Amino acid sequence: MRFVLALVLLACSGVLQAVPPNIVLILADDMGYGDLGCYGHPRAKTPHIDRLAKEGVRFTQHYSNGTECSPTRTALLTGRYPQWAGGLECAIGTGNVGRYDDAIELAARRQLGLPAKQVVLPGALKKVGYACGVFGKWHLGYEPRFNPIEHGWDEFFGYLGGNVHYFNHRETSDLHVLFRGRLPVHSEGYMTHLITDHSLAFIERHKARPFFLFVSHESPHFPFQGPKDAAKKITKENWMTPDADTYVAMLEDLDTEVGRVLAALKEQNLDRNTLVIFVSDNGGFAPAAHMGPLRGAKSSTLEGGIRVPLIMRWPGKLPAGKTSKQVCATFDLTRSILNLAKAKVPADRTDGTDIIAHIADNSPDTPRTLFWRGKRGERTWAAVREGNLKYVRKTEGQTEAWLYDVSKDLGEKNDLLTKQPNDAARLKALLAKWEKDVRPVR
Domain at 397, CATH number: 3.30.1120.10
CATH number at residue 70: 3.40.720.10
**AA identity, residue 429:** A
Same domain, 294 and 400: no
| pLDDT band at residue 9 under the 50/70/90 scheme | very low
Residue range 24-38: mean pLDDT, rounded: 98
Same domain, 360 and 411: no
Q: Is residue 7 part of a domain?
A: no
Same domain, 27 and 151: yes
Catalytically active residues are 69, 139
Averaged pLDDT of the chain: 95
- The dihedral sign for the CA sequence 119, 125, 128, 129: negative
pLDDT of residue 19: 85
Same domain, 258 and 380: no
Percent of the chain with pLDDT over 90: 93
pLDDT of residue 229: 98
pLDDT of residue 2: 42
Distance between CA atoms of residues 226 and 233, nearest Å: 12
Q: Is residue 37 part of a domain?
A: yes
Question: Would you list the DSSP string of 178-247?
Answer: EEETTEE----S-HHHHHHHHHHHHHHHTTTS-EEEEEE--TTSSS---TT-TTS---TTTTT---HHHH
pLDDT of residue 183: 98
Residue range 107-116: mean pLDDT, rounded: 97
Percent of the chain with pLDDT over 70: 96
Q: Is residue 162 part of a domain?
A: yes
Same domain, 334 and 408: no
**197: phi then psi, degrees, rounded to nearest 5:** -55, -45
Query: What CA–CA distances, in Å, run from 321 to 48, 58, 269, 314, 315?
Result: 14, 8, 22, 12, 11
Q: Is residue 10 part of a domain?
A: no
Same domain, 421 and 297: no
Domain range for residue 154?
19-369
Q: How many CA atoms lie within 13 A of 187 on its CB side?
A: 26
Question: What total of structural domains would you count in the chain?
Answer: 2
Q: Is the pLDDT of residue 22 over 80?
A: yes
- Is the peptide bond prior to 220 cis by the omega test (within 30 degrees of 0)? yes
Task: List own/partner pairs for 314-317 with CB under 8 A and 24 or more apart.
Answer: 314/21, 314/56, 314/274, 314/275, 314/276, 314/356, 315/55, 315/271, 315/272, 316/272, 317/21, 317/275, 317/360
Q: Is residue 66 part of a domain?
A: yes
Q: What is the pLDDT of residues 292-317, one digit of tens each?
A: 999 999 999 999 999 999 999 999 99
Distance between CA atoms of residues 385 and 329, nearest Å: 12
Q: Is residue 2 part of a domain?
A: no
Which one, of 134, 269, 119, lies nearest residue 211 by Cα? 134
pLDDT of residue 347: 82
Residue range 378-383: mean pLDDT, rounded: 98
Rg (CA), the chain: 21
Q: Is residue 417 part of a domain?
A: yes
Residue range 237-244: mean pLDDT, rounded: 95
Where helices occur in 307-364 by DSSP H, the ranges are: 330-340, 355-360
End residue of a domain, out of 318, 335, 369: 369
Q: Strand 379-386 vs strand 389-396: parallel, antiparallel, or unpaired?
A: antiparallel
Q: Which DSSP letter does residue 19 get?
A: P
Distance between CA atoms of residues 343 and 349, nearest Å: 13
Q: What is the pLDDT of residues 251-267, one digit of tens each?
A: 999 999 999 999 999 99
Where helices occur in 230-383 by DSSP H, the ranges are: 244-267, 303-306, 330-340, 355-360
Q: Which DSSP letter does residue 285 get?
A: P
Lowest mean pLDDT among 4-8, 36-40, 180-184: 4-8
- Residues 123, 125, 126, 129: what is their CA dihedral angle, to the nearest 10 degrees? 170
Same domain, 221 and 171: yes
Distance between CA atoms of residues 285 and 97, nearest Å: 20
| pLDDT band at residue 53 under the 50/70/90 scheme | very high
Which one, of 210, 251, 286, lies nearest residue 40 by Cα? 251
| pLDDT band at residue 13 under the 50/70/90 scheme | very low
Q: Strand 57-59 vs strand 62-63: parallel, antiparallel, or unpaired?
A: unpaired
Same domain, 206 and 88: yes
Which one, of 103, 216, 71, 229, lies nearest residue 158 by Cα? 216
Residue range 84-98: mean pLDDT, rounded: 96
CB atoms within 10 A of CB 168: 15
Q: Is residue 263 part of a domain?
A: yes
Q: What is the pLDDT of residues 123-169, one digit of tens each?
A: 999 999 999 999 999 999 999 999 999 999 999 999 999 999 999 99
Record the pTM.
0.95
Same domain, 404 and 273: no
End residue of a domain, out of 349, 369, 389: 369
- Is the peptide bond prior to 122 cis by the omega test (within 30 degrees of 0)? yes
Query: What CA–CA distances, in Å, run from 370 to 92, 173, 338, 363, 391?
Result: 23, 37, 20, 20, 11
At what angle are helices 47-54 and 244-267 packed, to 10 degrees? 50
End residue of a domain, out of 369, 394, 418: 369
C-beta of residue 71 within 8 angstroms of C-beta of residue 88: yes
| pLDDT band at residue 348 under the 50/70/90 scheme | confident
Distance between CA atoms of residues 422 and 404, nearest Å: 13
Query: What CA–CA distances, in Å, run from 278 to 11, 28, 50, 51, 362?
Result: 32, 8, 11, 12, 21
Same domain, 80 and 220: yes
Q: What is the pLDDT of residues 173-221, one digit of tens each?
A: 788 999 999 999 999 999 999 999 999 999 999 999 999 999 999 999 9
Same domain, 375 and 363: no
Same domain, 127 and 262: yes
**What contacts 236, CB < 8 A, 6 or more positions away?**
172
